[in-house]
Amino acid sequence: MNKLNLNQTQIESCRKYANIIANDVQEFINKHTTVSVERTVLRLLGVDGVDDFSAPIPNRLVDDVIKNGDISLGISIYIASALTSTKLSLDDFVTYYINNNISICDYDLVDKASTFKILKPYYEANLTKIRDNKIIRENYIKKYPREKTDIYVIVATGNIDEDVIQAVSAAKAGADIIAVIRSTGQSLLDYVPYGKTTEGFGGTFATQENFKIMRAALDKVSEEEKRYIYLVNYASGLCMPEIACMGALERLDVLLNDSMYGIIFRDINMKRTFVDQYFSRLINAYSGIIINTGEDNYLTTADAVEEAHTVTASQFINEAFAKLAHLPNKLMGLGHAFEIDPEVEDSFVLELAQAQLAREIFPEAPLKYMPPTKHINGNIFRAYQQNAMFNMVTTMTNQSIHLLGMMTEAIHTPYMSDRYLAIKNAKMIQRSMKSLGDEILYKENGAIQNRAKEVLNNAEKLLKQIANDGMFNSLSNGVFAQTKRTMTGGKGLGGVFKKSDNYINVVLEKMEESFNED
């Protein structure tokens, strides 16, 4: 039901502008590759591990081609050529490469057809594993049907073993989704750490082994609790597609995956992160992983009343980018947040309007709704009240991914007891208000309808402006989160390369081909 009486023509206008914006950026994406994209190709061929100095082997191979070959051709042709000349398997060649101080560029290059033929057994093995993981997830969901709102809880100890204990505890208390926060600053590392880790600051390193450990633990508790527990990690940052690859191989269910978050809040170069975003989202689409976007963060630096329309505009843009990467609506976890100052008159009414607006514009999307953080202080009793109001809006507007607020948000990393209270608060409100959203209507031209229309109108104006100026220039002008970033600034620009006319990416082409067949 359209409770807000939104102008559908205006919504289509917003989508038209968002498509113009995304297609313009896609033209740039299609002509470029990055070091992380090429390292991801290696990972999806089965290259992993580190050398004697703990340098990731995918990094070494790509850096070698940058230095001694032509990375604009892509890593695929160099691997295929090396295997052809040496007559070795990929595993044996990597061992030979590491031990014999040779260059991957020492071999005559084969043609495109030969590249695909030689590498097919390797990429097919991993693409098959990803497809199998998708089926396993789908079977779990059929076995244990999900509620319309999933409770999302964070663990962030720095030690994967301790994370498992806290994750299992949260799942047994009622959490449906467990997010393992990454160690502070990992998004700025231009490599992926390797193996199990037990030391991190503010979170735990995202590694494939850590993913595997947590997945096994959550599968076990899923069977015990008769609920499939989703696993979340973060694919933003300089290694966005590599982490998407690792998540697909280890059956993660949700990945935070938004280039604009990295550009604005981590100062990652916009060219680098838009190219990385496309390949990472293509992997997520192929593997059935839900993406989460980071619009909620805009309201931590800008006023949530005055800048609400920037969230809506960004959601439209992220939807357009997601469609270009073949993500269906059911995998678009677009983000927003409950961040209006509670001292503002009718703040609850304004929050309700914003949440209902997102739900009506994107009815099939598993929206990710974030709790109050900016206006949480050391008064844990007020924080508990704020989180209760947040839980009420979540239930009334049928948000999909409900990230719980913690009453100790402004004091310390939450204890298990804090998470327990947060889960019980959310569960109580879900039960007691279960049907309320279906029972109420909003007054015609009342405060809620008018606020939603105001936000949509301002979002349309902003999208039109961005479509006219271009996304790169708009980000340089600080249209989101009142933060300006330049096309040549930020981290990672040196890892962006223009593709040759003869560029080959065997994995990307095979994934795109599978969607075109559908």
Question: Does residue 244 sit in the same domain as residue 105?
Answer: no
Q: With bands split at pLDDT 50, 70 and 90, how would you rate the model's confidence at 105?
A: very high
3-state helix/strand/coil string of 218-250: HHHHHHHHCCCCEEEEECCCCCHHHHHHHHHHC
Say yes or no: 258 and 402 in one domain: yes
Q: Which of 416, 451, 486 is the last residue of a domain?
A: 451
Residue 464 has pLDDT above 90, yes or no: yes
Asked whether residue 156 carries a pLDDT value surpassing 80, the answer given is yes
Q: Which of 64, 176, 258, 296 is catalytic?
A: 296
- Euclidean distance between CA atoms 501 and 31, whole angstroms: 9
261 belongs to the catalytic site: yes
pTM for this model (two decimals): 0.96
User: Would you state the pLDDT for residue 174?
Assistant: 95
Q: Are residues 95 and 193 in the same domain?
A: no
Domain assignment present for 206: yes
Is there a single domain that holds both residue 199 and residue 60? no
Band (pLDDT 50/70/90 cuts) for residue 518 is: low
Domain-located, residue 261:
yes
For residues 492-499, give the mean pLDDT. Answer: 97
Calculate what percentage of the chain has a pLDDT beyond 70.
Answer: 100
89 with 148, same domain? no
φ, ψ for residue 233, nearest 5 deg = -145, -165
Mean pLDDT of the chain: 96
State the virtual CA torsion across 207, 210, 216, 217 in degrees, nearest 10: -140
State whether 304 and 408 are in the same domain.
yes
* CATH number of 411's domain: 3.20.20.440
- Token reading at 36: 């992380």
Catalytic residue among 97, 261, 420, 503: 261
Statement to judge: residues 224 and 368 lie in one domain = yes
Q: What DSSP line would sit under 27-55, residue for residue?
A: HHHHTEEEHHHHHHHHHHHT---B-TTS-
195 in the same domain as 319: yes
**Percentage of residues of the chain with pLDDT beyond 90:** 94
Is the CB of residue 146 less than 8 Å from the CB of residue 228? yes
Report the candidate in 457, 407, 399, 452 with the shortest Cα–Cα distance to residue 430: 399
> Residue 374 catalytic?
no
pLDDT, one tens digit per residue, over 319-343 is: 999 999 999 999 999 999 999 999 9
Q: Flag whether 357 is in a domain.
A: yes
What domain range includes position 46? 32-123
CA gap 467, 471 in Å, rounded: 7
pLDDT tens digit sequence for 404-443: 999 998 898 888 899 999 999 999 999 999 999 999 999 9
303 and 352 in a common domain: yes
Asked whether the predicted pLDDT for residue 38 surpasses 80, the reply is yes
361-410 pLDDT per residue, tens: 999 999 999 999 999 999 999 999 999 999 999 999 999 999 999 999 88
Is 493 among the domain residues?
A: no
Cα 516 to chain centroid, rounded: 23
Q: Alpha carbon of 322 to those of 22, 77, 329, 357, 471: distances in Å?
A: 9, 28, 9, 20, 16
Q: Does the residue 460 lie in any domain? A: no
Same domain, yes or no, for 320 and 397? yes
Instruction: Locate 183 and state its tokens.
Output: 């160690």
Q: Of 123, 150, 180, which residue sits at a domain end?
A: 123
Mean pLDDT of 230-248: 96
Of 417, 451, 485, the one marking the end of a domain is 451
* 336-340-346 Cα angle (round to 5): 120
Considering the domain boundaries, does residue 442 fall inside one? Answer: yes
Quote the pLDDT of residue 412: 87
Burial per residue of 34-70, b for 16 or more beta-carbon CB atoms within 10 angstroms, e otherwise:
bbbbbbbbbbbbbbbebeeeeebbbbbbbebbbeebb
The answer to whether residues 117 and 162 belong to one domain is: no
Other beta carbons less than 10 A from residue 482's beta carbon: 13
Q: What is the pLDDT of residues 267-317, one digit of tens each?
A: 999 999 999 999 999 999 999 999 999 999 998 888 999 999 999 999 999
What are 181's two structure tokens? 């926060």
Least confident of 58-62, 84-88, 258-262: 258-262
pLDDT of residue 43: 98
Task: Establish if 408 belongs to a structural domain.
Answer: yes
Residue 260, beta-bridge partner list: none
Task: For residues 167 and 299, state if they share a domain.
Answer: yes
Pick the catalytic residue from 368, 418, 442, 491. 368
Dihedral in degrees, nearest 10, Cα atoms 377, 378, 381, 383 = 30
pLDDT band at residue 172 under the 50/70/90 scheme:
very high
58 pLDDT above the threshold of 70: yes
- The number of domains in the chain is 2
DSSP helix, strand, coil percent of the chain (3-state; round to 5): 60, 10, 35
Give the mean pLDDT of 335-361.
96
What local confidence, expressed as pLDDT, does residue 1 receive? Answer: 61
26 within 8 A of 468, measured Cβ to Cβ: no
pLDDT of residue 279: 98
Say if residue 481's pLDDT is above 80: yes
| Alpha helix positions (H), 327-375 | 347-361
Indicate whether 96 belongs to any domain: yes
How far is Cα 417 from Cα 420, in angstroms, rounded to an integer? 5
> What is the model's pLDDT at position 209?
98
Strand order in the sheet with 368-370: 332-333, 290-292, 254-256, 230-234, 177-180, 150-155, 401-403, 368-370, 335-337
What is the Cα–Cα distance from 451 to 384, expressed in whole angstroms? 26
Residue 148 has a pLDDT of 84
Q: Average of pLDDT values for 175-187?
A: 94
More confident position, 150 or 1? 150
The predicted model gives 234-254 an average pLDDT of 96
Q: What is the pLDDT averaged over residues 456-472?
A: 98
